[in-house]
Amino acid sequence: MEAPPFASSTKTLSFRSSSPSSLLFLRKNGLNFRPPRNFCVRASSAGDSVVTLLDYGAGNVRSVRNAIRHLGFDVKDVQTPEDILNANRLVFPGVGAFAAAMDVLNKNGMAEALCSYIEKDRPFLGICLGLQLLFESSEEKGPVKGLGLIPGVVGRFDSSNGFRVPHIGWNALHIRKDSLILDDVGSNHVYFVHSYRAMPSDENKEWVSSTCNYGDNFIASVRRGNVHAVQFHPEKSGDVGLSILRRFLYPKAQLTKKPTERKALTLAKRVIACLDVRTNDKGDLVVTKGDQYDVREHTKENEVRELGKPVELARQYYKDGADEVSFLNITGFRDFPLGDLPMLQVLRYTSENVFVPLTVGGGIRDFTDANGRKYSSLEVASEYFRCGADKISIGSDAVYAAEEYLRTGVKSGNSSLEQISRVYGNQAVVVSIDPRRVYLKNPEDVGFKTIRVTNPGPNGEEFAWYQCTVSGGREGRPIGAYELAKAVEELGAGEILLNCIDCDGQKKGFDIDLIKLISDAVSIPVIASSGAGSAEHFSEVFRKTNASAALAAGIFHRKEVPIQSVKEHLLNEGIEVRI
């Protein structure tokens, strides 16, 4: 079989959780080795406890594996078409692009085996692209023929009606018929991340078990007999998602339906916990937090400010109701991330128990090590995905790519941003922008987009532009946040993480002028970041701007404002959030 374009040559760093070094790592992070919560729920006979997983190597299916293991099952990987035909239950978490996936399935005979398995009504669960591939064809880089089991064509969301594409976040389901695995969803949100979708029609109505509204009513799940497929990600949908997987894996178990207090109606605004991570002076990886990006204590020792341990804090935020967790390796711009094994281990451990999306950023760029070995940014990203990241975030390298693109007017296709979004899809690529506000007396003084500021500058300046920086705010670049945001959207970014160095750690609220400017300028989701000091700051940013999510660090680490109280406040203000 020909290797698919995404099967990169990156060495896989193996890691066994029972090895002494792993146990040491766990202990250093304040964790004891404990079997997963549902360890004792193992099915009785060996065959019963195995889930066959169809992973053709296009991206991160680690979270699906982790969720299956968490529920007490072992995972067997499909190696040959016979493995599909012999499966007791098959999970197909499709990732990557439709055409590339069909190509792999057709070339190795798996397409035929899949059709035969599904036509025999054997237990099947398709996830995301694993749902789309069941349809007749897709418009993604096509038309491309699919497996043809369900009538319909998969098409792209229309962003001209003001809805941001990709559709990223927690949305509500409208259950259309008894679907067994959705019995516990009730009126909770589930997590979607996709740019393409299939539409319900008379021809496929017997299949459709739920729809979701995002501009249109699209198909959120299908069911016929033992065959299920979902457009959303149960493995990333917290407890609700785990119960969907549990119902698929234990179809005969008497599970009691959980009552839900509140009805999910639409796409929720996301609340994200961010962990800025770096090594302290003793060499341990710690969560830190700066004031305007200065993370050192102003003491004689000038030590790195420590606010916790990454795995432990990420787990806590998951339990507290964070809709996503982001790790930013803040010294990644100077240290090579693949040499930073603890950071990769942090991701692996976190993804074992945290079932909401994980983003990781820092140091995603091409790199040559001391021995002259070259690593591409794609290899760095691939390793992050393999270790459990759902999205990667690019900072400095995206600034250079945007500058080059604006200078030449040509998309080279070689930047980290373009390469990673081509292989993993733009929904997997976040661009982190780190601007500083520069006040101006006269808006004509610079060649970048300027705004009239709400609060005048120290010398009464009424205008400002936002200058982008690289290397953790150390170097200002000749490009504005507005120009950068528009350029990276064209180059393939799926989301923008919008920081503001002036507001970082200040607890005075988000920079509303900046977030409004950028969220009005692009049609991809924007995450507001920097400056949250109270729950009211979250409602303010959602009311006054088009941000899709808001992120905070310091107030969560110092336990000043719990995530739950932010959510309760948003609910009271009539803003949709996931509970």
515 is a site residue for ligand 1PR (CB under 6 A) = no
Q: What are phi and psi of 564, to 5 degrees?
A: -60, -35
Within 10 A of 180 (CB to CB), how many other CB atoms are there? Answer: 14
Q: Per the omega criterion (within 30 degrees of 0), is the bond before 166 cis?
A: yes
Nearer to ligand 1PR by C-beta: 293 or 385?
A: 293
From the candidates 136, 184, 323, 434, which is the catalytic residue? 434
361 is a site residue for ligand 1PR (CB under 6 A) = yes
Whole-number Å distance between alpha carbons of 532 and 549: 12
From the candidates 128, 212, 274, 387, which is the catalytic residue? 128
Out of 338, 451, 517, 532, point to the residue binding ligand 1PR (CB under 6 A).
532
Secondary structure of residue 389 in the 3-state scheme: coil
Q: Which stretch binds ligand 1PR (CB under 6 A): 115-123, 324-332, 460-468, 513-521?
A: 324-332
531 is a site residue for ligand 1PR (CB under 6 A) = yes
Q: Which stretch binds ligand 1PR (CB under 6 A): 203-211, 355-363, 369-377, 449-457?
A: 355-363
Minimum CB–partner distance for residue 463 and ligand 1PR (Å): 24
**Nearest one of 277, 297, 386 to 13, comparing CA atoms:** 386
Minimum CB–partner distance for residue 323 and ligand 1PR (Å): 15
Whole-number Å distance between alpha carbons of 463 and 3: 54
362 is a site residue for ligand 1PR (CB under 6 A) = yes
Within 10 A of 233 (CB to CB), how many other CB atoms are there? Answer: 24
504 is a site residue for ligand 1PR (CB under 6 A) = yes
Nearer to ligand 1PR by C-beta: 247 or 278?
A: 278
Q: Which of residues 124-153 bind ligand 1PR (CB under 6 A)?
A: none
Q: Which of residues 534-563 bind ligand 1PR (CB under 6 A)?
A: 552-554
Minimum CB–partner distance for residue 399 and ligand 1PR (Å): 8
**Nearest one of 327, 330, 331, 332 to 275, comparing CA atoms:** 327
Out of 130, 155, 290, 480, point to the residue binding ligand 1PR (CB under 6 A).
290
Residue 119: HSE in the Cβ half-sphere, 13 Å Cα cutoff: 9
Q: Which stretch binds ligand 1PR (CB under 6 A): 56-64, 131-139, 329-337, 351-359?
A: 329-337
Q: Which stretch binds ligand 1PR (CB under 6 A): 10-18, 288-296, 370-378, 443-451?
A: 288-296
Asked about 128 being catalytic, the answer comes back as yes
The DSSP-derived string for 206-271 is TTEEEEEEESEEEEEEEEETTEEEESS-GGGSHHHHHHHHHHHH-TTS-PPPPP-SS---SPPPEE
472 is a site residue for ligand 1PR (CB under 6 A) = yes
Q: Which stretch binds ligand 1PR (CB under 6 A): 17-25, 85-93, 95-103, 357-365?
A: 357-365
Minimum CB–partner distance for residue 412 and ligand 1PR (Å): 18
Cβ distance 292 to 530 under 8 Å?
A: no
Residue 254's Cβ-count burial label (10 Å; 0-12, 13-18, 19+) is exposed
123 is a site residue for ligand 1PR (CB under 6 A) = no
Q: What are phi and psi of 143, to 5 degrees?
A: -75, 145
Out of 276, 418, 502, 576, point to the residue binding ligand 1PR (CB under 6 A).
276
Asked about 276 being catalytic, the answer comes back as yes
From the candidates 55, 140, 184, 276, which is the catalytic residue? 276
Minimum CB–partner distance for residue 288 and ligand 1PR (Å): 8
Nearer to ligand 1PR by C-beta: 173 or 431?
A: 431
**Nearest one of 499, 126, 576, 539 to 326, comparing CA atoms:** 499
Tell me: is residue 128 an annotated ligand-binding position.
yes
Tell me: is residue 363 an annotated ligand-binding position.
yes
Whole-number Å distance between alpha carbons of 303 and 486: 38
In whole angstroms, what separates CA 298 from the centre of its chain?
35
93 is a site residue for ligand 1PR (CB under 6 A) = no
**Nearest one of 13, 12, 153, 147 to 92, comparing CA atoms:** 147
383 is a site residue for ligand 1PR (CB under 6 A) = no
Q: Which stretch binds ligand 1PR (CB under 6 A): 9-17, 244-252, 309-317, 523-531?
A: 523-531
Nearer to ligand 1PR by C-beta: 241 or 362?
A: 362
Looking up tokens 């339906």 gives 257
397 is a site residue for ligand 1PR (CB under 6 A) = yes
Phi-psi region of 283 (alpha: psi -120 to 50; beta: other; left: phi over 0): left
289 is a site residue for ligand 1PR (CB under 6 A) = yes
What is the token pair recorded at 342? 């603890």
Asked about 228 being catalytic, the answer comes back as no
From the candidates 140, 184, 235, 504, which is the catalytic residue? 235
Minimum CB–partner distance for residue 343 and ligand 1PR (Å): 12
Task: Say what angle helices 416-424 and 396-408 make with each other, to 10 degrees.
Answer: 100
321 is a site residue for ligand 1PR (CB under 6 A) = no
**Nearest one of 118, 121, 423 to 110, comparing CA atoms:** 118
478: amino acid identity, one letter = P
Minimum CB–partner distance for residue 445 and ligand 1PR (Å): 27
Out of 60, 467, 530, 546, point to the residue binding ligand 1PR (CB under 6 A).
530
What is the token pair recorded at 15? 């890691």
Looking up tokens 């009504």 gives 121
From the candidates 233, 537, 557, 569, which is the catalytic residue? 233
Asked about 115 being catalytic, the answer comes back as no
Residue 64's Cβ-count burial label (10 Å; 0-12, 13-18, 19+) is buried
Asked about 212 being catalytic, the answer comes back as no
Task: Identify the H or E element spanning 132.
Answer: helix 129-132
Whole-number Å distance between alpha carbons of 270 and 254: 33
Question: For the window 224-263, what string marks contact with ligand 1PR as x by the rule CB under 6 A?
Answer: ----------------------------------------
Active site residues: 128, 233, 235, 276, 434
Binding residues for L-glutamine: 128
Binding residues: 128, 363, 499
Binding residues (CB under 6 A) for ligand 1PR: these are 274, 276, 289-290, 293, 295, 328, 330, 332-333, 361-364, 393-397, 432, 434, 472-473, 499, 504-505, 529-532, 552-554
